[in-house]
A = this chain, B = another copy of it.
């Protein structure tokens, strides 16, 4: 049956960020829905952001579109244009290669919940605010190419 039983899908706050950039996503609890649902054309994550948590370090992807829809609670979209409040039902589209670093931050006092969809594959990811770069096939590096 294609309806997903969310509570049976493992939830984690794992991150590949180096320790100096991992603190902001400790309260990001996510479930990978695509493998659980047997789909692979795109990735889907169900995310709960605890108060204070970030969806990610602010970033943009060279080769993967992203789409996010808010399900519950309140959050802020932060990107090059500033701070935009997000409420349930709000939708965000982040085109690949647009150079507009973005993330979603929960500055409220209760959990917020969203679903985020990402294009398949893996490409370089840019982090305008910090000394971090995701190099496709090489993982996280400093901007001078050195490893952590």
Contact = CB atoms under 8 A, between A and B. Distances in A.
Contacts of A93: 2, 4, 33-34, 36-39, 44
Interface string A23-66: 00000000001101111111010100000000000000000111
Interface string A79-117: 101001010111111111010101000000000010101
Interface in A2-34: 2-4, 6, 33-34
Interface residues of A, number: 46
Contacts of A102: 2
Please state the number of chain copies in the assembly: 2
A8 to B, nearest CB: 12
A38 B66 CA distance: 10
14 contacts: A2-B92, A2-B95, A3-B84, A4-B91, A6-B91, A37-B95, A39-B93, A39-B94, A40-B65, A41-B65, A41-B96, A41-B120, A42-B117, A44-B93
